[in-house]
Amino acid sequence: MRRLTRMVLLLAALVCAAGLVPSATLPFIEDDYPRALAEARSRKVPLFVEIWAPW
Instruction: Give 21-49 pLDDT, tens digit per residue.
Output: 555 556 788 889 999 999 889 988 888 88
> How far apart, in whole angstroms, are the C-alpha atoms of residue 39 and residue 34?
9
Residue 3 maps to a domain: no
Residue 7 maps to a domain: no
Range of the domain at 38: 24-55
Best CA proximity match to 47, nearest among 55, 6, 39, 12: 39
pLDDT attached to residue 14? 72
Residue 16 maps to a domain: no
Residue 45 maps to a domain: yes
> How far apart, in whole angstroms, are the C-alpha atoms of residue 18 and residue 33?
30
Kindly provide the residue ranges of all beta strands, DSSP E only, lying in 1-55, ordered along the sequence. Answer: none
**Total of domains in the chain:** 1
Residue 30 maps to a domain: yes
Residue 51 maps to a domain: yes
Residue 14 maps to a domain: no
HSE-up (13 A, CA, CB side) for residue 37? 4
pTM above 0.75, yes or no: no
pLDDT attached to residue 24? 55
Residue 29 makes CB contacts below 8 A (sequence gap 6+) with 35, 36, 39
